[in-house]
Amino acid sequence: MSKTRVGIVGARSYTARELLGCLLRHPDAEAVSLMARVEAPESLGEIHPPLRGRIDCPVTPIDLDVLTQETDVVFLCLPHGPAAEMARPLLEAGKRVIDLSADFRFRQPALYAQAYGQAHPAPELLDEAVYGLPELWRDEIRGARIVGNPGCYPTAVLLALAPLVRAYPNEVPAVGVIANCVSGVSGAGRTLSERTHFCEANEGLQPYGLVTHRHAPEIDAQITALTGRPLHVTFAPHLAPMDRGICATVHIPWHGDLPPMEEARGVFESLCDAEPLLRLMPEGKFVNTKAVANTNLCDIAVTADPRANLLIVMTAIDNLLKGASGQAIQNMNLMIGCEETTALL
Amino acid sequence: MSKTRVGIVGARSYTARELLGCLLRHPDAEAVSLMARVEAPESLGEIHPPLRGRIDCPVTPIDLDVLTQETDVVFLCLPHGPAAEMARPLLEAGKRVIDLSADFRFRQPALYAQAYGQAHPAPELLDEAVYGLPELWRDEIRGARIVGNPGCYPTAVLLALAPLVRAYPNEVPAVGVIANCVSGVSGAGRTLSERTHFCEANEGLQPYGLVTHRHAPEIDAQITALTGRPLHVTFAPHLAPMDRGICATVHIPWHGDLPPMEEARGVFESLCDAEPLLRLMPEGKFVNTKAVANTNLCDIAVTADPRANLLIVMTAIDNLLKGASGQAIQNMNLMIGCEETTALL
Amino acid sequence: MSKTRVGIVGARSYTARELLGCLLRHPDAEAVSLMARVEAPESLGEIHPPLRGRIDCPVTPIDLDVLTQETDVVFLCLPHGPAAEMARPLLEAGKRVIDLSADFRFRQPALYAQAYGQAHPAPELLDEAVYGLPELWRDEIRGARIVGNPGCYPTAVLLALAPLVRAYPNEVPAVGVIANCVSGVSGAGRTLSERTHFCEANEGLQPYGLVTHRHAPEIDAQITALTGRPLHVTFAPHLAPMDRGICATVHIPWHGDLPPMEEARGVFESLCDAEPLLRLMPEGKFVNTKAVANTNLCDIAVTADPRANLLIVMTAIDNLLKGASGQAIQNMNLMIGCEETTALL
Amino acid sequence: MSKTRVGIVGARSYTARELLGCLLRHPDAEAVSLMARVEAPESLGEIHPPLRGRIDCPVTPIDLDVLTQETDVVFLCLPHGPAAEMARPLLEAGKRVIDLSADFRFRQPALYAQAYGQAHPAPELLDEAVYGLPELWRDEIRGARIVGNPGCYPTAVLLALAPLVRAYPNEVPAVGVIANCVSGVSGAGRTLSERTHFCEANEGLQPYGLVTHRHAPEIDAQITALTGRPLHVTFAPHLAPMDRGICATVHIPWHGDLPPMEEARGVFESLCDAEPLLRLMPEGKFVNTKAVANTNLCDIAVTADPRANLLIVMTAIDNLLKGASGQAIQNMNLMIGCEETTALL
């Protein structure tokens, strides 16, 4: 079998670097076209020093013709807006597209417009776009032409919450769930900003974007898509002084009697037994982002506060891998029909 | 006026080091006796390199006679248990005691026994011990012979929650408040452990002690003491890879209609106007532990999630200062009658 | 005595923030005028969150008239070039100036032009400018109208090297001394750059500017000024993932027989006995930037490699304090005639 | 071909964890026996959380019989002393041994005794042991029964220095070379100590073990082994607040005229062209440990200080991979005859 030819647009980003790190080990796919908003071809090793000398492919100006001729699958590592604009001609040319921006995470243009403050550039594509969280939508991803790769926080929160919502549709309340999340700084990407300046971010822990963060409606919309009922999660993201990792601590005030712990754990045990990239922590142990750093794994732990009639589910992921590029590769694996975890374990 | 003579027992601890850092700048008090579980006198500079050459006082074996003869106020930086045992003879000798362990944070021996798994060594003292959070119990601290210095997490959570509980006694629910906290590693003290080994703690974010942490009953007991009604907070502590700082994000599902934001902020505005060490963040700005590192300040921010009928109060403190030693000095200042913020601003 | 009125130009910088942190504790000086390249007055607390509510002084657009009317001493926290241009009218108006840029660190315009790639904007002032390293030029600083505050690296290297050069003028070789230095990221200032982006700087150790760094000729020129003889130090700076601190490890191939260790240490013992801000480490102990973080101290250690006939002197400072703003306050203290270490211990 | 069966003794160590991380991706070798000083079998996932659920092999008490029956190659991750004692019976049983301790890094028992303060436990094996730096001793490693895996610092320093010593045997001086190195904290291993306590190591940069560090004689001995002539390097290690990485900055005072930069770079160009794991930085760029973190690569940069007639070579490695476990896998690959970089790129 010839290898799947991969194009990456937005090759300067950290997510592109991580995609390339995965592709280095991928037997069935290879990066053939790396593009970015550059004036002239640049050396990949200059842009991403860890990749120097390891991938023999320059980063060239964005050229749709080349992409359509040379690639089978294209990863878009662009800002929202430009991503959807580029997706349309790629799809028309028969390419399959995995978009790491937010452009294909919402099925309803109105939700997108509300969250991102602009009309969707390609609303006609939203119906067929699939939300690329394989643990929830594996079958749909397999056949998708366009996958909206999930946000990093939604990945962590949905893997904590969705299994319970499915198992206990009447007990998880429509409002009242609180998702406290802490992320490493790479979640903010490579663009320079005061918040991500080393001397500002180091040795500081700070909440930001509480309630208003754009990942909040993404979480709500996905849970609603799963259940058909509206659900609103209070989302409280924080920034921690580390490169990688998201820890989600999801508090679920329970409607009705709390299930016994073995029953609640059982939901996740079944899930983790079936899912190659999810791991349930032993009883009494919690998660740690460090244990999943540089992997595509998601660790899950469950506990309860019986006095408050509350379940607490914790997840930990690497925001750049399971929260972005690793998950994108997982989606590609499903789409091209190779083993789902190829290059990811 | 002659200076207040200060003794510190448990001088090897980080809290002792921070006490000494404050005392270096204190015009009205000075460290005259530093004791620890050592065999023979040791150099303070060897134990705490930052203090080398700055305080001319060796660390000597614990000697109650010397303490009673040479000091006016004694800070106990000992583990719980030994702290209370040492407090008794010091009080009998007429000393005033500020205990940084948990031994005098509970008024009821039963709560202490439950939280710390052992009977209280000096239950007869609990009645007169004052919980050393000056913003709540300033007058009582002034006259106290023995002060139980608050835990670091309770300080951060109580400064977020107590003002609302006072202002809205019927709206803050008896159960359902969730305090998500993230702490720097120094909160775990100087004792070596795998969790605080650099390579384990660095680049990792992890929940620990959810629901079972000993600071949870301390928080509950203090809120109950304030209001006379039981209240239970779900407490979720996390460890972040930084030296100092606690960020508390306290979610308060509201009983009844949410107050307008200006009203909720008004509660904290009045408080911060009156309190020299509390600062209210401007509307729309949240807290950052880095802004209060190496200070005795507490920053406070307020927001709401109207869809969930929830108030969210965030606080940030330096766990070693406002969360421990700085607060202990603040208590001492009240007890000896000098300006409360001396050496703290 | 009325307080010395202090102006700071370039108030957005980290060095301005640190100056203000010192001034908060200064009994004899106070910040009365904070200026920066802003369009309209800004809140100091917005610019420097740690200072929120602690200093009641807005940051206003640069206005020379106001500065000359309202201040006695002006600290310039500007880039080189603009600093010298602003110094001239201030001096003409009778102000005393402490410049934290590189503009007054060289006595010879040619050296400045070579290092900074531009002609000096006020060469006529260089003759009277004094290099503000009090341990070397205390008497000159006292009477100076304009002080060139030393670079952070030169401070660390000169405090290691100058005492030996003075004591052994013939044994320290004119070439061959190697100063390996490692700095925290705040040395690069507040300006955003890829190198100081958290995700680039964190978890990385990198050399930069070897041989070409502008602090190299500053070191050489100062040693030459001390001895009257040319000396060239090979300067190798590195960046480490921490906020603050410089560690200099200075290797001195010895011309002639190595002195006995007690003799070499004796040079520094005498010095540290006389200097309130220098500390000699005990024999066999080395320095650690952490022990001097947030202080104006400089720790010094000495060892030797007899097989290589080499002395090694290590120093550690806080690059923002003894390496910049703390030293600037020390210089101001000398200039205004108050105790040299006021607000610094 | 059946897979090479690998045993690891000392499975609790970070080096064992990293070996297992490489073996996870190795098509030709698999971990079959993991042993450590434990009382009863323990779960690997408990010991190394990142490996939870990924390798199905418990950690059992050390049992030589099992090792000899079940494995082909054994990695020793034990302290020096016990390592050599375990190597002997393994060799007698026909196993091939890769020792990550210092026990087989010296050919002369006297040098070992001097550096490690004890007689060598198996001196008769030293003659046949091969120093496992493939870039220097590839052919010898292929046939070796026992390989002494190099120290992390010696790997970084030798890759900087050995190529020049070979190319310029008369110009690199016998004394005078200075190797300044900075290491992440994992170099100190998993054993708890005050120095590696998070709150002590974080935000601090410190020299340690200058001149006396045990890696110094290892460097000297290896250079001497290469050239037949004695050479002494002044070795100055430092600790930086990061998990991984060593940066070596090696200053080489040149005997005679400095070669032109293109000639000096040429030495490394030829080397890096031939060596799959070495990368030469472009002219004017220096190394960064972050670019090689989590890889088995070594980056190399070259510059000069002509005024001091000095060449400077910088290298960066991941101390746990190229500096330990990755290199051990590289050695194993050579010994079992598979592609040298298998599981390493």
With cut-offs at 50, 70 and 90, classify the pLDDT of residue A1.
low
Reported for C301-305, long-range contacts at CB under 8 A and 24+ positions apart, including other chains, are C301/D207, C302/C261, C302/C264, C302/C265, C302/C268, C303/C261, C303/D210, C303/D211, C304/C258, C304/C261, C304/C264, C304/D211, C305/D210, C305/D211, C305/D234
Chain D contact present for C244, CB below 8 A: yes
Mean pLDDT taken over chain B: 97
Q: Do C198 and A14 touch (CB under 8 A)?
A: no
With cut-offs at 50, 70 and 90, classify the pLDDT of residue B1.
low
Q: Do A24 and D345 touch (CB under 8 A)?
A: yes
Q: Do A52 and D291 touch (CB under 8 A)?
A: yes
C242 phi and psi angles, rounded to 5 deg: -155, 160
Q: Do C180 and D184 touch (CB under 8 A)?
A: no
Closest-CA distance, D27 to chain A, in angstroms, reads: 12
With cut-offs at 50, 70 and 90, classify the pLDDT of residue B56.
confident
Give per-residue pLDDT as tens, B155-213.
Answer: 999 999 999 999 999 999 999 999 999 999 999 999 999 999 999 999 999 999 998 99
Average pLDDT over residues A239-246: 98
Closest-CA distance, D68 to chain A, in angstroms, reads: 30
pLDDT at A76: 98
Domain limits, chain D = 4-149+324-336, 153-317
User: Residue A339 CA to chain centroid, in angstroms?
Assistant: 19
Chain B contact present for C50, CB below 8 A: yes
Closest-CA distance, D96 to chain C, in angstroms, reads: 36
CB D334 within 8 A of CB D318: no
Q: Do B345 and C49 touch (CB under 8 A)?
A: no
Question: What element of type H or E holds A278?
Answer: strand A278-280
CB D196 within 8 A of CB B196: no
Give per-residue pLDDT as tens, B269-311.
Answer: 999 999 999 999 999 999 999 999 999 999 999 999 999 999 9
CB C319 within 8 A of CB C187: yes
Share of chain B residues as helix, strand and coil, in percent rounded to the nearest 5: 35, 25, 40
pLDDT at C227: 87
Q: Do A176 and B253 touch (CB under 8 A)?
A: yes
What kind of fold does domain D153-317 have according to CATH? Dihydrodipicolinate Reductase; domain 2 (3.30.360)
The partner residues of C131 in beta bridges, in order of sequence, read C148
Same fold, C4-149+324-336 and C153-317: no
- DSSP letter at A294 equals T
Q: Do A205 and B288 touch (CB under 8 A)?
A: yes
Distance of alpha carbon C5 from alpha carbon A275, whole angstroms: 68
Instruction: Determine the 3-state secondary structure of B22 from DSSP.
Output: helix
Closest among C325, C328, C331, C321 to C299, alpha carbons compared: C321
Q: Do C245 and D316 touch (CB under 8 A)?
A: no
Distance of alpha carbon C90 from alpha carbon C67, whole angstroms: 8
What kind of fold does domain D4-149+324-336 have according to CATH? Rossmann fold (3.40.50)
End-to-end CA distance of chain D: 22
Closest-CA distance, C305 to chain B, in angstroms, reads: 25
Does the predicted model carry a pTM greater than 0.90? yes
Q: Is the pLDDT of residue D1 over 90?
A: no
Chain D contact present for B294, CB below 8 A: no
Give per-residue pLDDT as tens, D260-288.
Answer: 999 999 999 999 999 999 999 999 999 99
Distance of alpha carbon C277 from alpha carbon C295, whole angstroms: 9
Chain B contact present for D190, CB below 8 A: yes
CB B15 within 8 A of CB B323: no
Predicted ipTM of the assembly: 0.96
CB D303 within 8 A of CB C211: yes
Give per-residue pLDDT as tens, A65-94.
Answer: 999 999 999 999 999 999 999 999 999 999
**Active-site amino acid positions of A:** 152
Chain A contact present for D203, CB below 8 A: yes
Q: Are strands B278-280 and B298-305 parallel, antiparallel or unpaired?
A: parallel
Chain A contact present for C241, CB below 8 A: yes
Give per-residue pLDDT as tens, B66-96.
Answer: 999 999 999 999 999 999 999 999 999 999 9
Average pLDDT over residues A4-25: 98
Go through C8-19 and write b for each residue having 16 or more CB atoms within 10 A of its CB, e for each that does not. bbbbbbbbbbbb
Catalytic residue among B22, B57, B77, B152: B152
Q: Token pair for residue D153?
A: 């610092």
Using CA coordinates, name the residue in chain B closest to A210.
Answer: B303
Length of chain C counted residue by residue? 345
Mutate to test the interface with B, among C46, C48, C52 (most CBs of B within 10 A): C52
- Could you write out the three-class secondary structure of D183-216? ECHHHHCCCCCCCCEHHHHCCCCEECCCCCCCHH
Which partners does chain D have (≥3 C-beta pairs < 8 Å)? Answer: A, B, C
Reported for B264-267, long-range contacts at CB under 8 A and 24+ positions apart, including other chains, are B264/B164, B264/B302, B264/B304, B264/B311, B265/B302, B267/B163, B267/B164, B267/B167
Catalytic residue among D152, D181, D272, D298: D152
Distance of alpha carbon D95 from alpha carbon D77, whole angstroms: 16
Distance of alpha carbon A116 from alpha carbon A103, whole angstroms: 9
Q: Do C54 and B345 touch (CB under 8 A)?
A: yes
Length of chain A counted residue by residue? 345
Angle at B62 between CA B56 and CA B63, to 5 degrees: 95
Instruction: Determine the 3-state secondary structure of D24 from DSSP.
Output: coil
D319 phi and psi angles, rounded to 5 deg: -60, -25
End-to-end CA distance of chain C: 22
Chain B contact present for D49, CB below 8 A: no
Count of CB pairs separated by less than 8 Å, A with D: 33
Average pLDDT over residues D180-197: 96
Residues of B in contact with D198 (CB under 8 A): 185, 196-198, 201-202, 241, 243
pLDDT at D56: 87
Q: Is the pLDDT of residue A330 over 70?
A: yes
Q: Do D202 and B241 touch (CB under 8 A)?
A: yes
- Which residue stretches of chain B are H helix? 14-23, 44-47, 64-70, 82-92, 109-116, 134-143, 152-167, 198-201, 215-227, 261-274, 289-292, 325-336
Q: Do B198 and D203 touch (CB under 8 A)?
A: no
CB C260 within 8 A of CB C334: no
Using CA coordinates, name the residue in chain A closest to B303.
Answer: A210
pLDDT at D331: 98
Distance of alpha carbon A100 from alpha carbon A320, whole angstroms: 11
Give per-residue pLDDT as tens, D21-80.
Answer: 999 999 999 999 999 999 999 999 999 999 999 998 999 999 999 999 999 999 999 999
Q: How many CB atoms lie within 10 A of CB C229?
A: 12
Q: How many CB atoms lie within 10 A of CB D108?
A: 15
Listed as ranges, residues in chain C with pLDDT below 50 are none
Instruction: Determine the 3-state secondary structure of D328 from DSSP.
Output: helix
Q: Residue holding tokens 């160009």?
A: D269
Looking at this protein, which amino acid is placed at residue B62? Answer: I
Considering only CB atoms, B203 lies closest to which of C53, C203, C279, namely: C203
End-to-end CA distance of chain B: 22
DSSP letter for each residue of C136-175: HHHHHHHH-SEEEPPPHHHHHHHHHHHHHHHH-TTTS-SE
**Active-site amino acid positions of C:** 152
Q: Do C291 and B345 touch (CB under 8 A)?
A: no
Chain C contact present for D289, CB below 8 A: yes
pLDDT at C104: 98
Q: Residue holding tokens 């080398």?
A: B52
Considering only CB atoms, C238 lies closest to which of D182, D290, D309, namely: D182
Chain D contact present for C302, CB below 8 A: no
Average pLDDT over residues A97-110: 97
Axis crossing angle, helix B325-336 with helix B14-23, rounded to the nearest 10: 50
CB C156 within 8 A of CB C246: yes
Closest-CA distance, B50 to chain C, in angstroms, reads: 4
B19 phi and psi angles, rounded to 5 deg: -55, -45
Count of CB pairs separated by less than 8 Å, A with B: 166
End-to-end CA distance of chain A: 22
Chain A contact present for B317, CB below 8 A: no
Angle at C50 between CA C47 and CA C54, to 5 degrees: 95
Looking at this protein, which amino acid is placed at residue C30? Answer: E
B271 phi and psi angles, rounded to 5 deg: -60, -50
